[in-house]
Structure 1
Amino acid sequence: MRLVFDRRQFLSALAAGTALAASPRVLARGRLRQGLTPHLFDADIEATCRMAKRLGIDGLDFVSHPADWPTLKRHGLTMTVLRVDYGGGISTLARAPAGPPGWNAIGTPDQHGQFEAALRERIDAAAREGIPNIIVTCGARGSLSYEEGKRNAIGFLQRVRAQAEARGVTLVMENINSGHAGGPPAPPGSMFDHLPWGLDVVTQVNSSRVKLLLDLYHAQLMDGNITNFLRNNIQWIGHIHTGGVPGRHEIDETQELNYRHIARTIVELGYSGFISHEWTPSAGQDKLIALRNSIAILDV
């Protein structure tokens, strides 16, 4: 998902430092470590890092190009989740090519083992660079059944778990909804669209370095019951994405999920990972204010 800010507005606000000067509430970080996707800013990596620091953000997801990693470190930001892009790394403001069949779709056959080989290389790179997580997704069902996809995903993760464990890098598997209206397009038959399916995968693999990337927007569309799932399964969650429902907009009181309550629950459960903002401001909203307010909601 790519979110486009007005570049002139962004740069002028960054230079002036007034419209974006974070309130004490934002700068006095709560106990949740917050991240965001760089697509929230229509800017280069240097300006994006400066903006994130002004907002009190702790890290950025999906900065996939190794050339950008030193910039994050210089600004004191964590590269929170690495995406294994086809071709080895792309611009932070673009989407990677889809890649061959099975690329980052571990519920489907991995053609010639290309994605597994790339993931193994990235596990080593993440360990060297202090990157805590690498995302994996499960692809679309197509002609496969849920059970076939589950066997594929478990087999894939069993093959790579030892390397992830040895290198101290966590593989986080993301849930994606199956084509609900009201938000960005999703696969019509996502393999991992229901939380119990993914939970069964990670519990069968049973590794401290294989967990869920819990996308709360997708989870609410497909399953709901968010707080109970958190309470019962927090030990299997390695990263969290936010997004308002419906529409995947800012996480304020206009949305059906109560993110203040969710944030308090996550803190009470002792979660120590990142929770990252991945949503599009609704029409008519001041994008920067919407982001700052959403950050404040998670500061508990």
Structure 2
Amino acid sequence: MAPLKFCANISWLFTELPDFSHRIHAAASAGFQAVEAAWLYDSDLKELQRATAAAGVEVVLINTPPGDVKAGDLGLGAVPGREAEFRQGLLLAIEYAKALDCKRIHLMAGRIPVGSQRKAVVKEMEAIFVQNLTYAADILSKEGITGLIEPINTKITDPRYFLDCPHQAAVILDKVGQPNIKLQMDIFHWQIMDGNLTQNIIKYFPIIGHIQIAQVPGRNEPDSAGELNYTYLFNTLENYGYLGYIGCEYKPLGSTKEGLGWIKDYWTQQVMTR
């Protein structure tokens, strides 16, 4: 069994440092060989290129632009009437991904429009999402990039997010039917929405293109107090031969560096058993 590979989500980790370039170097110094981030678009692209090259780390995932955050946007992929903006944001994400040699882009679905009821708009939003994902699949395939869709829980984190469970995502992926559009499994969100993690990992393993982790319910370090046994979950992923990266998308209880004991223990164990 190959050991699991972890990347630091620098939108969540090393936030003690002022910008992404500094966080990239901090992640490398902590032992990470890869990083991911949500939105890098306010950062100078050439500076990000210099930082990743100097640190020797891979960028494995970025998100499409969220839209107008101040107006309540969190992605545009399934939002009615915003198709042109989604396509513009996709092109910007591809520009950054190509410059950073990043091979995965999270295609954010977005939120139920304010004033709308989920049941009333779900079919329309699904159709728009399928249309936008099909469009994205064609463009991304030409660049060798995988698109990802991520369910975000609507019980705690974001009550209005359109895509909220793996079962809904699997139906959408089946309708898109493109091999370069896959499922992003955030264990934190999956546990809150559905639980049954072992069976869901097994069921959806063939379409999982990326994984992220955090403890439940606090969204802190994997070894912090909470519902999830990450030793078991890591063993499960190893046993099923997961070879992709696992993004560390959690809120450190203290400083990022102080909370990395769990991953140092994992790395040490891998050295000792191999």
TM-score norm. by structure 1 comes to: 0.76
Aligned to 1:178: 154
Contact 1:101 1:110 in 2 (8 A): no
Would you say 1:203 and 2:174 are equivalent positions?
Answer: yes
Contact 1:79–1:131 (8 Å) recurs in 2: yes
- The answer to whether residue 88 in structure 2 is matched with residue 117 in structure 1 is yes
Mapping 1:95-114, distance limit 5 Å: 97-98=68-69, 104-111=75-82, 113-114=84-85
1:293 alignment counterpart: 262
**Does residue 1:57 correspond to 2:29, yes or no?**
no
Correspondence for 1:40: 13
- Is the CA contact (8 Å cut-off) linking 2:77 and 2:83 kept in structure 1? no
With over 3 angstroms needed to count, the CA separation of the structure-2 counterparts of 1:109 and 1:83, relative to structure 1, is: same
Whether 1:239 and 2:210 are equivalent positions in the alignment is yes
> Which residues of structure 1 form unaligned runs of 5+?
1-29, 87-95, 181-185
The runs of at least 4 consecutive aligned structure 1 residues that moved more than 3 Å come to 44-47, 99-103, 294-300
**Which of these residues, 59, 62, 66, is aligned with residue 82 of structure 1?**
62
Q: 1:124 to 1:49 in 2, by over 3 A?
A: closer
Q: Quote the Cα distance in structure 1 between the aligned partners of 2:224 and 2:62.
A: 31
Confirm or deny: 8 A CA contact 2:74 2:108 kept in the other structure. no
For residues 176 and 264 of structure 2, what CA distance do their matches in structure 1 show?
A: 34
Q: Identity across aligned pairs (percent)?
A: 22
Q: CA deviation at 1:118?
A: 2.6
By how many angstroms is 1:194 displaced? 1.5
| Partners of 1:295 and 1:156 in 2: CA distance | 40
Mapped partners of 1:287, 1:124: distance in 2? 30
- One-letter amino acid of the structure 1 residue matched with residue 133 of structure 2: L
Instruction: Indicate conservation of the 8 Å contact 2:60/2:104, yes or no.
Output: yes
**Change in 2 beyond 3 A, CA 1:295/1:197:** farther
Partner of 1:7: none
In the comparison of the two structures, how many residue pairs are matched? 255
Q: Distance in 1 between matches of 2:24 and 2:81?
A: 35
Q: Structure 2: which 5+ runs fail to align? A: none
Please give the per-residue CA displacement for 1:267-289, whole angstroms capped at 9, x wherever unaligned: 2222222101111133xx56423
TM-superposition CA deviations, 1:91-118 (whole Å, max 9, x none):
xxxxx85287877221212436022123
The one-letter amino acid paired with 1:84 is T
Which position in structure 2 is the counterpart of 1:17? none
Answering whether residue 52 of structure 2 is matched by residue 72 of structure 1, we say: yes
Distance in 2 between the 1:175 and 1:219 partners?
8
Deviation string, structure 1 residues 212-269 (Cα, Å, up to 9, x no partner): 1111111100111112111121121111111101111111162211111111221222
Q: Whole-Å Cα distance in 1 between the matches of residues 141 and 152 of structure 2?
A: 25
Q: TM-score, normalised by structure 2?
A: 0.83
